[in-house]
Amino acid sequence: MKFDFNYYNPTKIYFGKTALNNLKKELANYGENILLVYGKNSIKKNGLYDKVMEILKESNKKVVELQGIKSNPTYTQMMEGARLVKENNVDLILAVGGGSVIDCSKGIAVSAYSEEDPWQKYWVDCKRVDNKVVPVGSILTMVGTGSEMNGGSVITNEEKMLKNGRVFSANVYPKFSILNPEYTYTVPKNQMVSGIFDTLSHLMEQYFSGDDNNTTDYVIEGVMNALIDNARVAIENPMDYEARSNIMWCATLGLNTVTGLSKEQDWEVHMIEHQVGAYTDCPHGIGLAIVSVPYYRYIYKYGLDKFVRFAKKVWKIHGKDMSKDEIALAGIEKLSDFIKELGIPTTLREIGATEEMLPLIANSTEIMDSGYKKLTADEILEILKEVY
């Protein structure tokens, strides 16, 4: 372990088939005004909305609703939530949904009482939160982002064509998160595989940095193996409880900061995807999968030993009579095969990108310098062209 770290994660997790039974006692910790935040229609279709409303009613809560949070949540929707919080003196924001709903809720939580323009203050200047923060609780229905146990809030500013992520500190993390794998049974296949790849991407972004012998790297390899094995089961049988629950916990572990401890961390694939998402509105994990393979083929030489280790420990390549380069590339090839196995598109064109968008995406992508290779905007453009 090369770098010093402090570790604190305040989110209480309730996991399993009976997890929702804990909502009532959690609600008792907050005042009567609740802002219920959810997506377009999935929770009404699968019955979760009715169950949650019943518990809120039994708990004598006054409920204001913010419905219709879209995938890749927008700044406009977030500010509408901030207005509702102030108007109704909200005591708790209850997010019921996937990463978009939870990210939006955290955004509302920090923005409602901000005296400055929240976009500039928090998503551009990344200033410390110095205003009142409204507590957030979550009920997770779509797995992948890890938002249920972290401070991430990724918001799309539709006017500025920017999808910016901000990682807030522990006072913005959900106070509690309810994780019942059964709620994920109704997630459509394209979203399920998007979430699976998002989790794998979080693990790779943290893994491919530094070349030290780090306990975190061993943890990540274990979680990657669990994720890949269980993804294969879930694709065949989406109703397999064990597989869905393993995937759910892999996703939470994948970005609850445990798998980033003492690591430099890269995150360039995410930066590229965020701008691909700003222009195409694609599901997050699908955009990540498309750009990952050309990105890793481009940078592997700069972190060769780690890519060899990835090929051997994650993809079980023996590497006998192979050069380091051959082993590393064989590992990336296995990653590419896995993406195809998940049924994910492999070109930007398939998710609605046009040729004119590519330079706009490349020039607006944030460039990180914590991975193996710091890219230029021109190099990002080349990577995008390769998978156009």
- For residue 146, the partner it binds in Zn ion, ligand NZQ, none, with Cβ less than 5 to 8 A by kind, is ligand NZQ
**Residue 4 CB coordination number (10 Å):** 6
Q: What is the H or E stretch that residue 244 is in?
A: helix 241-254
Residue 198 engages Zn ion in binding (rule: CB under 5 A)? yes
Nearer of residues 74 and 214 to ligand NZQ, judged by Cβ = 74
Residue 256 engages ligand NZQ in binding (rule: CB under 6 A)? no
Q: How far is the CB of 58 from Zn ion (least distance, A)?
A: 36
**Residue partners of 120: CB distance under 8 A and separation at least 6:** none
Query: DSSP string spanning 278-325?
Result: HHH---HHHHHHHHHHHHHHHHGGGGHHHHHHHHHHTT----TT--HH
Q: Chain centroid to CA 336: how far?
A: 20
Residue span 158-197 as binding mask against Zn ion, x where in contact by CB under 5 A, dash where not = ----------------------------------------
CA of 22: how far to CAs of 27, 35, 137, in Å?
Answer: 9, 18, 12
**Are 160 and 275 a contacting pair, CB within 8 Å?**
no
Residue span 267-296 as binding mask against ligand NZQ, x where in contact by CB under 6 A, dash where not = ---x-------------x------------
> How far is Cα 116 from Cα 113, in angstroms, rounded to an integer?
9
Total chain residues near ligand NZQ (CB under 6 A): 34
Listed ranges 121-129, 180-188, 220-228, 354-362: which one lies at the site for ligand NZQ (CB under 6 A): 180-188
Widest distance between CA atoms in the chain: 69
Nearer of residues 81 and 152 to Zn ion, judged by Cβ = 152
Residues that bind Zn ion (CB under 5 A): 198
Residues that bind ligand NZQ (CB under 6 A): 39-42, 46, 71-72, 97-101, 103, 141-142, 144-147, 150, 152, 154, 165, 183-184, 186-187, 191, 194-195, 198, 255, 270, 284
